[in-house]
Each structure stands twice: as C-alpha cells, then as structure tokens.
Amino acid sequence: MPDTPRTKPGGQYAIESGKTVLGIEFGSTRIKAVLIGEDHTPIASGSHEWENRYENGIWTYSLEDVWTGLQKSYQRLNSEVFEKYNIPLKTIGAIGFSAMMHGYMAFDKDGKLLVPFRTWRNTITGQASDELTNLFRFNIPQRWSIAHLYQAILNKEPHVKDISHLTTLAGYVHWKLTGQKGLGVGEASGMFPIAGKTNDYDEHMIELFNQRIKAENIPWKLQDILPKVLVAGDAAGVLTKEGAMRLDPTGQLPAGIRLCPPEGDAGTGMVATDSVAERTGNVSAGTSVFAMIVLEKPLSKVYPEIDMVTTPTGKPVAMVHSNNCTSDLNAWVDLFQEFTHALGLEMSQSRLFEMLYQRALTGDADCGGLLAYNYFSGEPITHLEEGRPLFVRTPESRFTFSNFMRAHLFSALGALKIGLDILFEQEQVKTDQILGHGGFFKTKEVGQKIMAAAMNVPVSVMETAGEGGAWGIALLASYMLNKAKDESLEAYLSSKVFAGENATTIAPDQGDVNGFMAFMERYKKGLIIERAAVDALR
C-alpha cells in the first residue's frame, strides 16, 4: 500500500507538503542552513566555512563570498534532504536569515555597495562612539552601525553624501531576496537606539543626530536611510523570483515563500536558548563572546562596557560583548595538532580539543600565576584599538601544560568578566538561568565549569545548544508562520519548542570562583603589557 500523508515519516511528509521552515545564519567563520519540521527539530542542515579578511585596515567579507557561501550552504542542505528522503526540496513554509550583528553596509540609490563591508570586529570608530554616547546619554558601542556612519562623516569620507540605504549583513541578504528593507528589532537595536514604548528608532536621538550633522550639508536625513523596524511574528516580505534564483540557482525553489524579519546572532542566540523572558540570560561563546541578560528594569546609568539592545520582541537587554574569545585558543590547538602530526600520531581535531580542554580542569585554580591575552583584534571593553595575542609568565609561575590551557580558557572570558561584574555587582541584576551555547561549550562540562566560575552563577547547556543561531532564526520564522492569535514568543517557545527539553546544569565551584578572581586581578594589572605590545608591534 502506498504511503499516505499520515503514514509517511514526519520529515518526508513535512518536505513534500511544504511544512518545513528554513533558517540560515552568517556566522563569523561558518554559514549554516538548518531545515526544521513541524516539531521544530532539524531535518537537514548544510554549511560553508568562510573567513573575514583584513584589507586596508578593515575587517571585511566580500559580497561575492556572501552569495557563494549562501548558495553552497543551501546546496549542501538540499543534497542532505535528497540523501535522507530521496525527494527534492521544492518548497518551504517560511525562511529566516540571521547574521553577525551590527557593522556597516552603505548603499547608493542604485543598490551599489559604497565601501567594503565593515564588520563588528573593527575598532576604528572610537571618536564617533564617544561623541554619540555623550550626545545621546546612551552607550553607543564602536561596532554599531550609527558609530560607523558618524565616524565616516567625521573622517569626511566622500561616499557619505551618496548613501541611500544603510543596513547590516542580515538586512542586506533579506533585502536582496525579498526587495524589502527591514530588520528585526533586536538587530535594529544594534544600528541605532530603540525606544521601548514604540519598538522603533528613538525619535529624539534621531533628531539630535540630524542636528549634529546639519553643518555637513548631507542630502539625507537619518530616518530616510535606516531599515524599517519589525518585531518577531511580523511578516517581512516574500521570496522574489530573483531572490529564489540567488538562493537556489538550480531553479527548484519557487518564489512567494514567506520570510520573517532578519535578526542578528544575538537575537537568534536568545531564541535558541529560550532566553527571551525577563530574568533569563545566555552566553554565546565562539569567535567573539557575549552575554545577554533580559532586564526587569533599566540600569541606573550609562556604562561604556554595557550595550543596551533588545530581544526580538523589543524587551530591554543588557549585553556585554567581547570581540575576542576562541580565536587564540583555536590557534594554539592548531599548533598542537601540527605537533602531533610531526610525531606521527593520528588524532582528530575534535579529540585533541577534548583532551586539551579537559587538561585545563586539572590545573591550579588561579592558573599557577600564568597570564594570557587572546586579543586577535581590538577590545573595546579594555580600551584597546588593536590586539596582539600574548602569553606572559614570571620565573615563579607554575608553567605546566594544565595551567597553560586553563590560562587560555580564562583569558577567553577575561574582557567579558569585566562587564559582567558591573551587571551583577554594581547593578545587582538577577537571573534565574544562564544558558551557554557556541564552540566554547562543545567539550562536555569544561566550558560550563569555566563560565560558571567567571559568572559565579549556575550555567546550563541544552541538548539543542549545538544547533545554534541558524536554528534560532528558523524558530522565529516558524513563530511567524504558526503562532496562535496573540500568542507571545515566550509562550510559543516554552510550550511548543522547549517543553521537556533536557539541560545539564553546573553550579560554580567556590575554588574555581576564587581562582578566576585571582586571575582577573593579574589580568587587569597586566593590561599595560598588552597596550605596550600593541604600541611596539605594528
């Protein structure tokens, strides 16, 4: 008897009937596509590795790399669908796009990119960041789009007068596939401050900005070049015929598929860890590391170390963002991998990572007096415009393999810790749970234990944590497609996605907490060494 829709495997039925949802995220090192079914679990995935480039003093990615990576990740997902279910992927219920947040992409009236994409990693907007923070009385981090725009104005860059549209990477991809110039509110909050009552750009601050640049005789107003702000659940356009061909050059995918508002990786990380309600928080730790705490009330004052952004529904979030996390760790692992090859040993990189991370747990609580700085790029929290990876010890330090690895894991969270201390100690912010996700947590328990020591709160990791932001934006697309009338995102996630979800929780060990505090005293005192390295090694 042939299969009926009710007897076919769930994935196959969802694919054939168009009940699937696709999420694609442009991360710092990987573009990942995830296809989920009606139960929100992944059916298939595909990915493509890419790397930023440092060109003419700018961290950037080319537009060609954007589209090549998008097509390859989708093609690999499509191939996996066919391999698993022996059917082609010819339609999808909804699609969502996400990307590394913030940065600067400026286009003219013809849609031409005016200057190379300036990513979040750049620390070239210090003057603009300081001036706008003072003007708005609201912290404007260096990586925010408005800081990049104002710095370009201060630098009298000739392209400024030709700007017709300013957006982020997620907004750019969404625009080119739908023709719609919009952003989810979480991502938009990293372009320009959001007014909580309206879930739109703060009109008073926009007017202050327009007044500030009036003497420059620029032929546009800020509100005319920013994308429209949307919230989770809003419809954000449909896939155009041209957009369908950009995503799937084989022509199998039809136009007309609905898209949710594009979001940044901060917003998708909150969704992927069910951390969108008040008193919840999550830490995403990979190339960069950031902690997001959903607030019950505003902070008492402006802190340059704390960014104020929003959830995908517009709730206020305190964000501590460090530009550097695992890049230096990964470089050391690559070095050890080269050493194992030189010895003629066969060991997979994943096994090597696990072994090295596990050894960190056997080191002295305070890393034996060792010190490391993982600064591949500048670090705004510690006021460094550039970075120099650095390892330092004294003759009295206990220079052991375990302490060496522990110091580098601690260093990965050093700048983050400085910002977190403001939230937890000075502002007395309370959280009921902290969820961890990202590469830092891949080795069982190690990343959790180190993070729990740094934050001095229990840290949980869900079984789904490895799915990441691509899954998070797929969930937002699913929410747009399937939510009941007046159903909140918090209710949708807790009742339909994460009900019964298993998580492992590790409480902070007091010895580890004390050891991390001792390390941080050394870390803060040693910042003068990092500054000297930046000044001397150019």
pLDDT confidence band for 465 (50 / 70 / 90): low
Q: Please tell me the least confidently modeled range out of 11-20, 184-193, 353-362.
A: 11-20
- Is residue 235 within 8 A of residue 262, CB to CB? The reply is no
- Is residue 329 within 8 A of residue 443, CB to CB? The reply is no
| Cα(271)–Cα(276) distance, integer angstroms | 6
The pLDDT tens digits of the residues spanning 245-295 come to: 999 999 999 999 999 999 999 899 899 989 999 999 999 888 889 899 999
Mean pLDDT of 73-92: 95
State the pLDDT at residue 10. 65
By residue range, what is the domain housing residue 400? 327-411+511-536
- Please report the beta strands in 360-474, taking only residues with DSSP state E, as ranges in sequence order: 371-373, 390-392, 433-437, 459-462
The residue type at 412: A
Q: What is the mean pLDDT of the chain?
A: 93
Helix (H) or strand (E) holding 468: helix 468-482
Residue 348 within any structural domain of the chain: yes
Question: Could you give the angle at the alpha carbon of 239 between the alpha carbons of 20 and 247, nearest 5°?
Answer: 80
User: Could you give the number of structural domains in the chain?
Assistant: 1
The pLDDT tens digits of the residues spanning 225-246 come to: 999 999 999 999 999 999 999 9
pLDDT confidence band for 7 (50 / 70 / 90): very low
Beta-carbon count within 10 A of 528 CB? 9
Q: pTM here?
A: 0.85
State the pLDDT at residue 466. 59
The pLDDT tens digits of the residues spanning 468-510 come to: 789 999 999 999 999 999 999 999 999 999 987 788 999 999 9
State the pLDDT at residue 538. 86
Residue 524 within any structural domain of the chain: yes
Mean pLDDT of 445-467: 87
pLDDT surpassing 60 at residue 196: yes
pLDDT confidence band for 511 (50 / 70 / 90): very high
pLDDT confidence band for 464 (50 / 70 / 90): low
State the pLDDT at residue 320. 94
Residue 43 within any structural domain of the chain: no
Greater pLDDT, 10 or 9: 10
% of the chain with per-residue pLDDT over 90? 85
State the pLDDT at residue 32. 96
Residue 181 within any structural domain of the chain: no
% of the chain with per-residue pLDDT over 70? 97
State the pLDDT at residue 508. 95
Maximal C-alpha separation, the chain: 78
Greater pLDDT, 149 or 265: 149
State the pLDDT at residue 9. 56
Greater pLDDT, 206 or 17: 206
pLDDT confidence band for 462 (50 / 70 / 90): confident
Residue 95 within any structural domain of the chain: no
State the pLDDT at residue 437. 85
Residue 74 within any structural domain of the chain: no
| Cα(166)–Cα(99) distance, integer angstroms | 15
pLDDT surpassing 50 at residue 4: no
Residue 516 within any structural domain of the chain: yes
Backbone angles phi, psi at 355, to 5 degrees: -65, -45
The CA-atom distances, in angstroms, between 254 and each of 37, 49, 66, 223 are 19, 26, 21, 34
Beta-carbon count within 10 A of 426 CB? 13
State the pLDDT at residue 492. 97
Residue 351 within any structural domain of the chain: yes
pLDDT surpassing 60 at residue 3: no
State the pLDDT at residue 372. 98
pLDDT confidence band for 1 (50 / 70 / 90): very low
State the pLDDT at residue 31. 97
pLDDT confidence band for 5 (50 / 70 / 90): very low
Residue corresponding to tokens 């692992």: 333
Beta-carbon count within 10 A of 328 CB? 21
State the pLDDT at residue 6. 36
pLDDT confidence band for 420 (50 / 70 / 90): very high
